[in-house]
Structure 1
Amino acid sequence: MGGFGAELRRHFTLLAFGLLVASIVPQFAAAACPDIPVAVAGPMTGDWAVYGEEMRRGAQLATDDINAKGGIKGCKLALMVLDDQGKPDTAIAIAKAFGRDRVRFVVGHYNSGSSIPASQIYAKNNTLMVSPASTNPGLTEFKLWNVIRTAGRDDVQGTFAGKYMVDHFANGNLAIVSDGTPYGDGLANKARNALRAKGHPEKLATKVKYDQTDFGDLIAKMKAAKIDVVFFAGLGDQLGRLIRQDDDAGMHLQFISGDGAMVKGLTALGGPAVQGTLIVFSPEDRSNPAAKDVVTRFRAQGFEPEAYTLKSYAAVQVIAAGMEMAGVQAPRLVAAAIRSGKPISTVVGDLTFDAKGDRREPDVAMYVWTKQANGGLSLEPVK
């Protein structure tokens, strides 16, 4: 935490010095425009660091592109990058520090468990937060003035998954397993509601512990219930282990999961049995015509803009567009402008936001782990 505090102090000492110089030399003040501090906060280290890197790269390129075009009415965006390690307590500390140091615009966080408590502190400290990744419905259900997200919502994912299960596996016995976290429970509950609304309730609904690694008891329970299809509402580390242990037990169940299982290491954990696993996630942002130029430039840098890269780029675009529409940098007015329903052009297409800060456009699709000609597995859209 010492490094985090020092980074903030250094950044804002420089910012304060710049403002002091402008006040001492008024002839330059009219021409100069102070930088607008914007932060990207996410897991730059730890288990989800790959997604923190996607957030950082997306936000940085968007900032560079906006500044290259003149910034916001001549004012440049100044991007800070801070590491919350995917931990709620660290995210809370960051939110409190931003309040003291007057950062008013944040792209973040990644984990819903970090975004939800941080958002409440940001709201009190007059800071607008745009998350490119947090999908738990609770983030916007608190109806805070300051929360926007360029990602979708778990309830949309859960409902989509539940309907998909009935539409494609109506003859099977269905199970819903949550990891017991707010993310998992929210996803599982919506899937259950969708099953019941379509007249096909689950045969089994249960939970595991979020840090559980041995699923022998769960597998035995599913075997006794003669389960055919499992919706796992949790993260990829657990899903991979569950798939491998299920395969070792000779069950060979059909697994479906949400965006928390969209991890590159799933096949390493689950092995060949991952083939056929279905994952609910956003439509492929890289195929959006609006993203073509940005994707090309990322690839020229040797970086593939997967998962949350373009949603983070879009988050910066949304903040900038909000300032342009509001005509001021006041966070509350910027948030109101973003939520006005006026379309905002982004790399993931035109986005409109409702009064809660959720995007109105659907953001859900089904993917399947597919065996390739070289024998490897890759995640492909279901056609």
Structure 2
Amino acid sequence: MSQTFYKKGFLALAVATALGAASFAQADIKFGVAGPMTGANASFGEQYMKGAQAAADAINKAGGVNGEQIVLVKGDDACEPKQAVSVANKMVQDKVAGVVGHFCSSSTIPASEVYADAGILAITPGSTNPAVTERGLPAMMRMCGRDDQQGIVAGNYIVDVLKGKKVAVINDKDTYGKGLADATAKQLTSRGVKPVLEEGLTRGEKDYSALVTKIRAAGADVVYFGGLHPEAGPLVHQLRTEGLKDVKFMSDDGIVTDEMVATAGGAPYVDGVYMTFGADPRLIPDSKAVVEEFKKAGYEPEGYTLYAYASVQALAAGFNGAKSNKGEDAAKWLKANKVQTVMGTKEWDSKGDLKISDYVVYQWDAAGKYHQLEKQK
């Protein structure tokens, strides 16, 4: 081997090594954001993306994750389980390290099996069905409470505050809606108010006249609905227009979007509607600066916007804390440490559930806005 060839070879190796080091230093870490980006529940997907992108931008500005910049990968499952599995497989192919998602529990549950097989950490901002974290998946976590917690709050409020005596409990036959309706019915029964009607409706339908007739025949003074705004809106509209305007209507975190007003046919129809949701993170000191930034940009961070923001913060904290981009390492770190988020300090148990759930009751008004009511003592 000539000396000239050796020098050239050494130089080429040095350049390649330098380029490799530079590439590593400038590498990206991918976080998936999965949920209904299209379809009837697209407003929730928009909340997810707005919150996740703002958090990623802030974290990148502060140095990123283990020296790498966060790049978001959007996945649209349209709240359809089969599509959610396809999204999850695509996330694996794209080599995401973590996922913020999904939204509908019926999507999160099958998708999480794919993430588990690939060792990807997933934090759902909005899936509340207990089965999400009850299957022993080490890297499946959530930034929200559970249906069995939310159902207790709803049931107690119906009994203690609304003074419901004859309660109709309706669900949308989906994993989330039915699970929550069942949890609420269970709490009502434990409080001595057995539902006078338990019925399911079909997602996507708009004519609930037959169901309204059953509710009227049962003599219900309160209607509780477990499900999402595309069905809750038309149902409350028909209750109001078909002679049951004095019947109290209560639902869940699936109607925490301005789209509820549109699906109900206008602000007058949502006036007085109650719902359960986590304590409004926009009202705590930890979120003040972030909320102001959103508002300056012309966006109101309603619903799950800050939940998605906090989920990205948790992913970043987990990977940085574990000094690893492996999902199970980050999940293990998160379950052993407290994390400061835009929603305050968060802690998780061994299942991946939050140690503290803060469900409260909200009410919609005649202007088409919702506001948090005082917590029950």
TM-score (norm. length: structure 1): 0.88
| Offset, 1:318 | 0.4
SS at match of 1:304: coil
| Offset, 1:96 | 1.3
In the alignment, is residue 344 of structure 1 matched against residue 339 of structure 2? Answer: yes
Cα distance between partner residues in 1 of 2:39 and 2:15 = 44
Residue type of the partner of 2:255? A
Residue in 1 that maps onto 2:97: 104
In the alignment, is residue 370 of structure 1 matched against residue 365 of structure 2? Answer: yes
SS at match of 2:199: strand
Residue in 1 that maps onto 2:173: 180
In the alignment, is residue 279 of structure 1 matched against residue 275 of structure 2? Answer: yes
In the TM superposition, what whole-angstrom CA distance separates every residue of 1:156-193 from its partner, at most 9, and x where no partner exists?
Answer: 21111011111123353112111111111110111111
SS at match of 1:141: coil
In the alignment, is residue 318 of structure 1 matched against residue 345 of structure 2? Answer: no
Shift in CA distance, 367/22, structure 1 to aligned 2, threshold 3 Å: farther
In the alignment, is residue 88 of structure 1 matched against residue 81 of structure 2? Answer: yes
Shift in CA distance, 273/301, structure 1 to aligned 2, threshold 3 Å: closer
- Retained in 1: the 8 A contact 2:50–2:305? yes
Residue in 2 that maps onto 1:292: 288
Residue type of the partner of 2:81? P
In the alignment, is residue 267 of structure 1 matched against residue 265 of structure 2? Answer: no
Cα distance between partner residues in 1 of 2:282 and 2:132 = 26
* Residue in structure 1 matching 2:237, options 235, 244, 255: 244
Residue type of the partner of 2:248? Q
Shift in CA distance, 22/179, structure 1 to aligned 2, threshold 3 Å: farther
| Offset, 1:24 | 6.8
| Offset, 1:30 | 4.4
Cα distance between partner residues in 2 of 1:268 and 1:53 = 16
- Retained in 1: the 8 A contact 2:347–2:355? yes
| Offset, 1:210 | 2.3
SS at match of 1:222: helix
Residue type of the partner of 1:41? A
| Offset, 1:87 | 2.5
Unmatched segments (≥5 aa) in structure 1:
1-20
How do residues 59-98 of structure 1 correspond to structure 2 at under 5 angstroms? 59-98=52-91
In the alignment, is residue 329 of structure 1 matched against residue 322 of structure 2? Answer: no
- Retained in 2: the 8 A contact 1:170–1:200? no
SS at match of 1:337: helix
| Offset, 1:274 | 2.1
- Retained in 1: the 8 A contact 2:33–2:49? yes
Cα distance between partner residues in 2 of 1:223 and 1:266 = 23
Find the structure with the greater CA-based Rg. 2
Residue in 1 that maps onto 2:349: 354
Cα distance between partner residues in 2 of 1:56 and 1:265 = 17
In the alignment, is residue 37 of structure 1 matched against residue 30 of structure 2? Answer: yes
| Offset, 1:28 | 4.5
In the TM superposition, what whole-angstrom CA distance separates every residue of 1:250-302 from its partner, at most 9, and x where no partner exists?
Answer: 12210000111223133333342321110111211111211111111111111
SS at match of 2:369: strand
Cα distance between partner residues in 2 of 1:105 and 1:23 = 34
- Retained in 2: the 8 A contact 1:99–1:126? no
Shift in CA distance, 300/192, structure 1 to aligned 2, threshold 3 Å: same
Residue type of the partner of 2:371? E
Cα distance between partner residues in 2 of 1:94 and 1:212 = 26
| Offset, 1:246 | 1.5
Identity %: 37
SS at match of 1:377: coil
* Residue in structure 1 matching 2:140, options 143, 147, 159: 147
In the alignment, is residue 302 of structure 1 matched against residue 298 of structure 2? Answer: yes
Residue in 2 that maps onto 1:206: 199
Cα distance between partner residues in 2 of 1:315 and 1:365 = 21
Residue in 2 that maps onto 1:224: 217
- Retained in 2: the 8 A contact 1:282–1:363? yes
Cα distance between partner residues in 1 of 2:224 and 2:218 = 15
- Retained in 2: the 8 A contact 1:298–1:304? yes
Residue type of the partner of 2:314? V
Residue type of the partner of 1:310? L
Cα distance between partner residues in 1 of 2:254 and 2:296 = 28
| Offset, 1:29 | 4.0
SS at match of 1:25: helix
Cα distance between partner residues in 2 of 1:377 and 1:368 = 10
Unmatched segments (≥5 aa) in structure 2:
1-11
Cα distance between partner residues in 1 of 2:280 and 2:148 = 19
